[in-house]
């Protein structure tokens, strides 16, 4: 497999974990409606338990499917599973940290933070997956370059399919 395609293959669970909460939605917010010391919401209504676990499940499922298709990429099912979990959890954690930062600086739910939305989940996923299986520096830089475009394209698509109310 080409080195760049390999990088996209590697990151797939993170992409799916990051995108799927849009479909799962959910009602109970992860911060249970609570506010932070600054009086603003900790995370906001956009981050739900259902979205979180739905995203985690989806990302891990993608990893299981990927292992069936290309087991030699992972070496063992255990590594494939750990990697998919780390990438998915990392992507969701990065998104939560992003929401936390957005609320602290007074940004409304759903308002785009250019850069944070596209890179935050990716950096977090790459960091958490790093101890399990590592990409080369070139592959990491490639993912940093293409992810904003993929993220933007996926959001426009979700908007056109009416899964999202805003195109970001």
Give the chain's largest Cα–Cα span: 51
Total interface residues for a second copy by CB under 8 A: 28
Compare residues 77 and 130 and give the one whose CB is closer to a second copy: 130
User: Which positions from 97 to 136 touch a second copy by CB under 8 A, shown as an x/- string?
Assistant: -x--xx--x-x----xxxxxxxxx--x--xx--x---xxx
Residue pair 17/58 in contact by the 8 Å Cβ criterion: yes
Q: State whether residue 41 is helix, strand or coil.
A: strand
Site residues for a second copy, window 35-54 (CB under 8 A)?
none
Cα gap 81→83, rounded to integer Å: 5
Q: How far is CA 74 from CA 11, 13, 58, 123, 163, in A?
A: 13, 13, 18, 21, 33
Q: Per CB under 8 A, which of residues 57..96 are in contact with a second copy?
A: none
Report d(CA 100, CA 156) in Å as an integer.
Answer: 24
Question: Contact, 90 vs 124, CB < 8 A?
Answer: yes
Per CB under 8 A, 3 contacts a second copy:
no
Determine if 151 is a binding residue for a second copy (CB under 8 A).
Answer: no
Look up residue 52 and give its two tokens: 């979180």
Instruction: Give the nearer residue to a second copy in terms of CB position, either 41 or 102.
Output: 102
Question: Smallest gap, in angstroms, from Cβ of residue 117 to a second copy?
Answer: 7
Residue 153 CB, nearest approach to a second copy (Å): 15
Applying CB under 8 A, does 146 fall inside the site for a second copy? no
Q: Is 149 in the site for a second copy (CB under 8 A)?
A: no
The least CB distance from residue 137 to a second copy, in Å, is 5
H or E element at residue 151:
helix 137-160
Residues of this chain that interact with a second copy (CB under 8 A) are: 98, 101-102, 105, 107, 112-120, 123, 126-127, 130, 134-141, 144-145
């Amino acid at each position: 497999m080409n080195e760049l395609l390999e990088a996209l293959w590697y990151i797939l669970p993170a992409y799916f974990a990051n995108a799927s909460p849009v479909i799962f939605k959910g009602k109970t917010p992860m911060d249970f409606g609570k506010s932070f010391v600054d009086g603003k919401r900790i995370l906001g209504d956009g981050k739900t338990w259902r979205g979180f676990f739905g995203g985690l499940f989806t990302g891990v499922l993608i990893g299981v499917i990927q292992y069936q298709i290309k087991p030699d990429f992972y070496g063992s099912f255990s590594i494939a599973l750990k990697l998919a979990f780390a990438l998915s959890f990392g992507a969701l954690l990065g998104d939560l940290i992003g929401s936390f930062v957005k609320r602290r600086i007074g940004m409304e739910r759903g308002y785009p933070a250019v850069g944070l939305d596209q890179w935050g989940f990716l950096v977090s996923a790459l960091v958490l997956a790093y101890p399990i299986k590592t990409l080369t520096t070139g592959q990491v830089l490639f993912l940093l370059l293409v992810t904003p475009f993929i993220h933007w394209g996926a959001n426009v698509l979700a908007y056109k399919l009416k899964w999202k109310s805003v195109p970001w």
